Amino acid sequence: MVRCAVESFRVGLIGLALVSLGAQAQAPALPVSAQAAAAVPLQVSAGVLQLDPQLALATGPAGTVTLGEVLTSLRETVPAEAQASVTQSDERLGQVATSVYRNKWLAERARSAKLEVKEPEGAAPSEVTRTRFWAEQYMQHQVRQAMPDDATLTKLARTSMKANPANFRWPADKRVRHILLNARQGPDAEVEARAQTLLKQLEDGADFAALAKTQSQDAPSAVLGGELGWLEGKSYVPEFLAAVASLQQPGQRSPVFRTEFGYHIVELEEVRVERAATEAEATEVMRHQVFERRNQEVRARLWQQAGESVRLNDDNLQRVAAAARS
């Protein structure tokens, strides 16, 4: 409800970025794994590698899927330790061949639609990678086409705000950062004494973020200067929450206190009072919710359509699997 609305708004900004990303006619860089894949030997039996790479494993209106393309897809998308087991099963080989065919079907439509996108950057990609890239561009394009315009989203937001106002409120919240000294790093009294020394340095004017980066033993937050962000929707031990509750004004720091994780110092950075979301914020929540729904629906529909016309060559799939097992 309230928490759900806040998280929806936060994630809505991410969804908006995804919606707008595809609108830019700039291609993403080729993934490092795909760039390096050609240099990594396939982990399959010699019997498979001796077969004709032009052996047809699947066909359809979008073209033919060859053994060479399936092996390239395996090398680029399947962990090395799993590649051999895939080739030993004609069913799993068929699944890979179907996936390659689906990407061909989608890429063909991307090019027919004359989408203005650039080829992947980086080392020259395989044709399988290029096809997968174009397929993804087409799906992103179709998702954008399915999104309602801003006026419609605003209208939906107004209706939802009127029907469920509690779902569109910012709850009261606090943003904090902390320094943690792990109690297992030495005798308890010594660790506490080190924490008290750090608190004294802070009281004498030391920068909290700088001290957290060099002294805090909570690695994920230490690199961020001790930053923990807004607390709403997160779980903390009771002693930590009690320390935060005692802080009322930004800049206030807690005394050294202990939890099961060690000795902490917490500083309050910002306080947010409860308030209703603005119409613009509610619209962003709605944009994300609609995007998530349309993204799933459109991709599922296209993926299903792309596989409807594929015809697997069972004899050749079994031939490859037999060679892999020999």
**Same-domain check for residues 162 and 184:** no
**Same-domain check for residues 70 and 213:** no
Gap between the Cα atoms of 243 and 238, Å rounded? 9
**Same-domain check for residues 157 and 66:** yes
Predicted local distance difference test score (pLDDT) of residue 43:
87
**Joined tokens for residue 275:** 């308030």
Token look-up 């066909």 returns 59
Gap between the Cα atoms of 80 and 41, Å rounded? 9
Gap between the Cα atoms of 98 and 90, Å rounded? 12
Cα–Cα separations (whole angstroms), residue 47 to 91, 252, 321, 323? 18, 70, 10, 5
Q: Write the pLDDT tens digit of every residue in 38-47.
A: 445 788 999 9
Predicted local distance difference test score (pLDDT) of residue 36:
42
**Same-domain check for residues 300 and 163:** yes
**Same-domain check for residues 125 and 219:** no
Q: Write the pLDDT tens digit of every residue in 286-299.
A: 899 999 999 999 99
Torsion, CA 200, CA 204, CA 210, CA 213, rounded to 10:
0
**Same-domain check for residues 164 and 37:** yes
Tell whether 22 is covered by a domain: no
Q: Write the pLDDT tens digit of every residue in 308-321.
A: 999 999 999 999 99
Q: State how many domains the chain has.
A: 2
**Same-domain check for residues 110 and 164:** yes
Q: Is residue 212 within 8 Å of 225, Cβ to Cβ? A: yes
CATH code, 147: 1.10.4030
User: Biggest alpha carbon distance in the chain?
Assistant: 79
**Same-domain check for residues 195 and 288:** no
- Mean pLDDT over 245-264 rounds to 95
Tell me the pLDDT band of 120, cut-offs 50, 70 and 90: low
**Same-domain check for residues 155 and 57:** yes
Domain region containing 193 = 172-273
**Same-domain check for residues 146 and 217:** no
